[in-house]
Amino acid sequence: MPSPLPPIEIRIKRLPHGEGLPLPVYATAQAAGMDVVSAEDLILPPGGRHAVATGFAMAIPEGYEIQARPRSGLALKHGIGLPNSPGTIDADYRGEVKVILINFSDQPFAIARGDRIAQLVVAPVQLASFVQVDSLDDTARGQGGFGSTGV
Ligand SMILES: O=c1ccn([C@H]2C[C@H](O)[C@@H](COP(=O)(O)OP(=O)(O)OP(=O)(O)O)O2)c(=O)[nH]1
Ligand SMILES: [Mg+2]
């Protein structure tokens, strides 16, 4: 069955320090995320975080965003995550895309230029506006939350 959502084209610009690096790419036919590589060498100390350069900028079409998400292999094997996961890349952002990494482990973690550090997921954006009211409709949940249904 063909995908109900045809791929969209996203304009991407290589920055000088990103020359020679691969563009983000889907690793398998139906991967949700495009793997993105680091444009720099660095060592993340235990507990450290860094906005890692990717060496590219983009013009995401209006009505879409890109989410930067962790790679599960790095998280599981090395405790590497994104403290702002999912990072939000807005459609009107024209600066360099950066991936904020954090080292949750107790060991330093070395990243080399060209290493895959995260994955980018393209998503549609539903815009909305708030309408202020004096009362809200009743629901079965009401004000219950934060574990109100049990653990
Ligand atoms: O992981 C990320 C998160 C953000 N950005 C860039 C693209 C995004 O459009 C912009 C702003 O991100 P966000 O809105 O999350 O950050 P902010 O702290 O609200 O900054 P701003 O005031 O610039 O919106 O920074 C990245 O490159 N990587
Ligand atoms: Mg913002």
- Complex-level ipTM: 0.98
CA 98 to ligand 1: nearest atom: 27
Measured from the alpha carbon of residue 89, the closest ligand is 1
Atom 25, ligand 1: residue with shortest CA distance: 89
Q: Is the pLDDT of residue 2 over 80?
A: no
Q: Residue ranges per domain, the chain? A: 11-124
Atom 19, ligand 1: residue with shortest CA distance: 88
Secondary structure (H, E, C), 97-122:
EEEEEEECCCCCEEECCCCEEEEEEE
d(CA 78, CA 18): 25
d(CA 52, CA 49): 9
Q: Is the pLDDT of residue 18 over 90?
A: yes
pLDDT of 37-94, one tens digit each?
999 999 999 999 999 999 999 999 999 999 999 999 999 999 999 999 999 999 999 9
Quick check: CB of 125 below 6 Å from ligand 1?
A: no
pLDDT of residue 151: 87
Quick check: CB of 64 below 6 Å from ligand 1?
A: no
| Contact in structure between 120 and 68 (CB atoms under 8 Å) | yes
**Percent of all residues in the chain with a pLDDT value above 70, rounded to a whole number:** 98
Q: What is the mean pLDDT of residues 127-141?
A: 98
| Contact in structure between 58 and 83 (CB atoms under 8 Å) | no
| Contact in structure between 94 and 59 (CB atoms under 8 Å) | yes
Q: Is the pLDDT of residue 3 over 70?
A: no
**Percent of all residues in the chain with a pLDDT value above 90, rounded to a whole number:** 96
pLDDT of 136-146, one tens digit each?
999 999 999 99
Quick check: CB of 49 below 6 Å from ligand 1?
A: no
Token pair listed for 12: 């991407």
Quick check: CB of 91 below 6 Å from ligand 1?
A: no
Give the strands of the sheet with 64-69, arranged side by side. Answer: 25-26, 34-37, 116-124, 64-69, 87-89
Atom 7, ligand 1: residue with shortest CA distance: 89
User: Domain 11-124 sits in which CATH superfamily?
Assistant: Deoxyuridine triphosphatase (dUTPase) (2.70.40.10)
Q: How far is the CA of 98 from the centre of ligand 1 (A)?
A: 9
The pTM assigned to this predicted structure is 0.95
